[in-house]
Structure 1
Amino acid sequence: RFVTGLKLFITLNDCIKLNLNLRCASQVLYSLQAFKAIDAQAIYSELVQMPWEEIIPDPGYFSVTSNVSNESINNSMFANLRVKDAIVDRLRDIRTERPKTGAALTGTVIHLHWKDDFAEIFIDTTGDSIARHGYRKIPGLAPMLEGLAAATIYASKWDNKSPFINPMCGSGTLAIEAALMASNKVPGLFRSNYAFMHVLGYDASIYDKERLNIEAQIIDVKVPIFASDISSKAIENAKLNALAAGVSEMISFSVCDFYETHVPEDGAGVMMVNPEYGDRLGDETALEETYGRIGDFMKKKCGGYWGYVFTGNL
Structure 2
Amino acid sequence: MSLYTTESSIIITCNKRLAPYLEQEVKDLGFKIEEAFVTGVRVNGTLNDCIILNLNLYCASQVLYSLEKFQANNPDEVYNHLLKMEWENILPDPGYFSVTSNVQHPTINNGMFANLRVKDAVVDRLREKRGTRPSTGSELTGAVVHLFWKHENAEIFMDTSGDSLARHGYRKIPGRAPMLEALASATILASQWDKKSPFVNPMCGSGTLAIEAALIASNTRPGLFRDNFAFMHIQGYDKEIYYNEMYKLEDQIAEVPGLRILATDLSELAVNNARKNAIAAGVADMIEFGVCDFADTEVPEGAKGVFFVNPEYGDRLGDIDELEETYARIGDFMKQKCKGYFGYVFTGNLDLAKKIGLKAKRRIEFYTSTIDCRLLEYELYEGTRAVKNTAPESI
TM-score bracket, normalised by the shorter chain, equals over 0.9
Residue 163 of structure 1 pairs with residue 198 of structure 2: yes
What is the alpha-carbon distance in structure 1 between the residues aligned to residue 189 and residue 339 of structure 2? 21
Q: Which region of structure 1 is more displaced relative to structure 2, 51-60 or 303-312?
A: 303-312
Aligned partner of 2:237 in structure 1 is: 202
Aligned partner of 2:250 in structure 1 is: 215
Aligned partner of 2:300 in structure 1 is: 264
1:251-289 deviation per Cα after TM superposition (whole angstroms, max 9, x unaligned): 011111111111112111111111111223234454222
Aligned partner of 1:301 in structure 2 is: 337
The amino acid across from 1:252 in the alignment is E
The amino acid across from 2:304 in the alignment is A
What is the alpha-carbon distance in structure 2 between the residues aligned to residue 277 and residue 213 of structure 1? 40
1:61-88 deviation per Cα after TM superposition (whole angstroms, max 9, x unaligned): 0001112222222111111111111111
Aligned partner of 2:149 in structure 1 is: 114
What is the alpha-carbon distance in structure 2 between the residues aligned to residue 5 and residue 198 of structure 1? 24
Aligned partner of 1:68 in structure 2 is: 103
TM-score, with structure 2 as normaliser: 0.77
Aligned partner of 2:91 in structure 1 is: 56
| Aligned ranges 1:25-174 → 2 under 5 Å | 25-174=60-209
The amino acid across from 2:293 in the alignment is D
Q: Which region of structure 1 is more displaced relative to structure 2, 304-313 or 224-233?
A: 304-313
Local SS of the residue matching 1:30:
strand
1:102-146 deviation per Cα after TM superposition (whole angstroms, max 9, x unaligned): 011110001111222221111000001111111111111111111
Aligned partner of 1:276 in structure 2 is: 312
Residue 193 of structure 1 pairs with residue 228 of structure 2: yes
- Stretches of structure 2 lacking an aligned partner (at least 5 in a row): 1-15, 17-36, 351-395
Q: Sequence identity, in percent?
A: 67
Give 1:49 deviation, angstroms: 1.1
The amino acid across from 1:228 in the alignment is T
Residue 313 of structure 1 pairs with residue 349 of structure 2: yes
Q: Which has the higher strand share?
A: 2
Aligned partner of 1:175 in structure 2 is: 210
Match of 1:250 among 286, 304, 321: 286
Local SS of the residue matching 2:99:
strand
Local SS of the residue matching 1:120:
strand
1:174-194 deviation per Cα after TM superposition (whole angstroms, max 9, x unaligned): 000111111111111111111
What is the alpha-carbon distance in structure 2 between the residues aligned to residue 158 and residue 272 of structure 1? 10
Equivalent pair of 1:68/1:112 in contact (CA under 8 Å): yes
Local SS of the residue matching 1:253:
strand
1:11-36 deviation per Cα after TM superposition (whole angstroms, max 9, x unaligned): 11111111111111011110111122
What is the alpha-carbon distance in structure 1 between the residues aligned to residue 329 and residue 316 of structure 2? 19
Equivalent pair of 1:277/1:311 in contact (CA under 8 Å): yes
Q: Which region of structure 1 is more displaced relative to structure 2, 90-99 or 216-225?
A: 216-225
User: Given the superposition, is the C-alpha separation of residues 3 and 39 from structure 1 closer, same or farther in structure 2, using an over 3 Å criterion?
Assistant: farther
- Stretches of structure 1 lacking an aligned partner (at least 5 in a row): none
What is the alpha-carbon distance in structure 2 between the residues aligned to residue 113 and residue 247 of structure 1? 38
What is the alpha-carbon distance in structure 1 between the residues aligned to residue 104 and residue 342 of structure 2? 41
What is the alpha-carbon distance in structure 2 between the residues aligned to residue 55 and residue 286 of structure 1? 57
Local SS of the residue matching 2:156:
strand
What is the alpha-carbon distance in structure 1 between the residues aligned to residue 151 and residue 178 of structure 2? 35
Give 1:3 deviation, angstroms: 5.9
RMSD value, Cα: 1.4
Local SS of the residue matching 1:291:
helix
The amino acid across from 1:217 in the alignment is Q
What is the alpha-carbon distance in structure 2 between the residues aligned to residue 284 and residue 199 of structure 1? 51
Equivalent pair of 1:277/1:283 in contact (CA under 8 Å): no
The amino acid across from 2:314 in the alignment is G
Aligned partner of 2:53 in structure 1 is: 18
What is the alpha-carbon distance in structure 1 between the residues aligned to residue 341 and residue 60 of structure 2? 28
